[in-house]
Amino acid sequence: MIDRMDPIRNPYSPGAGTPPPELAGRDELRERVRIAIERIKIGNPAKSVLMVGLRGVGKTVLLDQMRADAEASGVHTLRLEAPEGRSLPALLAPQLRTALLQLSRTEVAKELAIRGLRALAGFAQSLKVKYADIEVGLDFEPEKGLADNGDLEGDLAALLEQVGRAAQGARTALVMFIDELQYVPEEQFAALITALHRCAQQRLPITVVGAGLPQLVGRAGRAKSYAERLFDYPLVGPLSPVDAARAITKPAQDLDVRFTADAVDAIVSRTQGYPYFIQEWGKHAWDAASRTPITLTDVDRASGMTVAALDESFFKVRFDRCTPLEKRYLRAMAELGPGPHRSGDIADMMGRKVNTLAPTRNQLILKGMIWSPNHGDTAFTVPLFDQFMKRAMPGREWQEG
């Protein structure tokens, strides 16, 4: 018997978008999305799915899994992540081109796909003025009057309709998987909603499966009031205690390693079922143990390493993107506890008037650090962020000035 557990075989995988060894507790959501896609494929109506959840809860890996599920069933997909600062049309254009080129290889859909590529050419050329970041290869000449008005809302709808017809011709569907949707600027989001609406009215087999922070729901509603009829917003939450326990034990079990029951309970309660934390705790508990079973003592010994690793990889990257005033705002929130908190209480805590802090709060929402579950309420988008803020800013300086 080796005197330590082999770190090389350590199965846990903390990391943004890193697939977990066991995707626990998401079967129901996967099935729901599978059904929606299959319905759309045969021309039945189904709402587009926009999954919302806090940071590190597993949205990205779920989106990727759903994409793999869809491809396995013969559906065409594309995948994008809306970063801050790039336009949606620029992200979509090259991906749509690839999808159309693929569809053009199917004999029955060839003509329709080529018309789609013409629409794309018109789209890219006419919108280039407004969205200078559009870069896409043009395979065909544009067709006059097809997706070339220079107005995003109309042109995107015309383009997606054309893509939908090509997918329909090929007896398949095109599903656009979009991550971090909350970063898409409102007018571009509105255009996407309109386009999806137009395609849905014609029962075209094209849809979006999206993911983002909880502020996404409000953004969609503000962009288009009918968004709620078009989208389902399933919540991707922390894992139930049973699923969390499975996420910890199953990967070890596959390698003939066990955890004692109290060790599992400790991880479940310290992580509150949040997947990123589960991976980090599992990883360090494994490395701290010398043999199977991994015990509560091992988990306790791993505690310092785990917290340090989480601060470094998960919390600090977010914290570093904030200005000093934004940090003070977050620190004041943390002082009040996990939240949500009334904006007025946060301002009081800082000794400021609530209206003078409105721009700071808005910036933090735009950066995806906080969100507003209800009017006047403010909550962290990062689980356990209050505890981190107290570690990061232990003194009292934040209250001054």
Ligand X SMILES: Nc1ncnc2c1ncn2[C@@H]1O[C@H](COP(=O)(O)OP(=O)(O)OP(=O)(O)O)[C@@H](O)[C@H]1O
Site stretch for ligand X (CB under 6 A), options 9-17, 31-39, 85-93, 219-227 = 9-17
Which residues are CB-contacts of 396 (< 8 A; sequence separation ≥ 6)? none
User: Phi, psi at residue 39, to the nearest 5°?
Assistant: -65, -45
Among 5, 10, 11, 25, binds ligand X (CB under 6 A): 25
Q: Is 387 a binder of ligand X (CB under 6 A)?
A: no
Q: Please identify, using beta-carbon distances, which residue of 58 and 169 lies nearer to ligand X.
A: 58
User: Whole-number minimum distance, CB 252 to ligand X, in Å?
Assistant: 13
Among 11, 56, 116, 164, binds ligand X (CB under 6 A): 56
Strands 377-380 and 341-342: antiparallel
Residues paired with 250 in a beta bridge: none
CA torsion 126-129-132-134 (nearest 10°) is 0
Closest CA to 376 of 339, 335, 327: 339
Contacted entry of ligand X, Mg ion, none for residue 244, CB cut-off 5 to 8 Å set by kind: none
Site string for Mg ion, 53-72 (x = CB under 5 A): -------x------------
3-state helix, strand, coil in the chain (%, to 5): 55, 10, 35
Contacted entry of Mg ion, ligand X, none for residue 15, CB cut-off 5 to 8 Å set by kind: ligand X
Q: Is 238 a binder of ligand X (CB under 6 A)?
A: no
Contacted entry of Mg ion, ligand X, none for residue 56, CB cut-off 5 to 8 Å set by kind: ligand X
Sign of CA dihedral 328, 333, 338, 339: negative
d(CA 117, CA 132): 20
Sign of CA dihedral 279, 285, 291, 295: negative
Contacted entry of Mg ion, ligand X, none for residue 20, CB cut-off 5 to 8 Å set by kind: ligand X
Q: How far are the Cα atoms of 89, 139, 188, 194 from residue 155, in angstroms, in the given order?
A: 10, 18, 12, 10
Q: Is 59 a binder of ligand X (CB under 6 A)?
A: yes
d(CA 338, CA 121): 50
Contacted entry of ligand X, Mg ion, none for residue 23, CB cut-off 5 to 8 Å set by kind: ligand X
Among 37, 41, 55, 371, binds ligand X (CB under 6 A): 55
d(CA 59, CA 102): 28
Q: Please identify, using beta-carbon distances, which residue of 16 and 358 lies nearer to ligand X.
A: 16
Q: Is 184 a binder of ligand X (CB under 6 A)?
A: no
Contacted entry of Mg ion, ligand X, none for residue 347, CB cut-off 5 to 8 Å set by kind: none
Residues paired with 177 in a beta bridge: 79, 209
d(CA 36, CA 30): 10
Q: Is 58 a binder of ligand X (CB under 6 A)?
A: yes
d(CA 367, CA 144): 40
Q: Please identify, using beta-carbon distances, which residue of 146 and 267 lies nearer to ligand X.
A: 267
Q: Please identify, using beta-carbon distances, which residue of 156 and 267 lies nearer to ligand X.
A: 267
Q: Please identify, using beta-carbon distances, which residue of 259 and 314 lies nearer to Mg ion.
A: 314
CA torsion 24-28-34-38 (nearest 10°) is 160
Among 26, 165, 224, 331, binds ligand X (CB under 6 A): 26
Q: Is 83 a binder of ligand X (CB under 6 A)?
A: no
User: Whole-number minimum distance, CB 321 to ligand X, in Å?
Assistant: 13
Q: Mapping DSSP to helix (H, G, I), strand (E, B) and coil, where does residue 210 land?
A: strand
Contacted entry of Mg ion, ligand X, none for residue 247, CB cut-off 5 to 8 Å set by kind: ligand X
Site string for ligand X, 246-275 (x = CB under 6 A): -x---------------------------x
**Which residues contact Mg ion (rule: CB under 5 A)?**
60
Residues that bind ligand X (CB under 6 A): 13-20, 22-26, 53, 55-61, 247, 275-276, 278-279
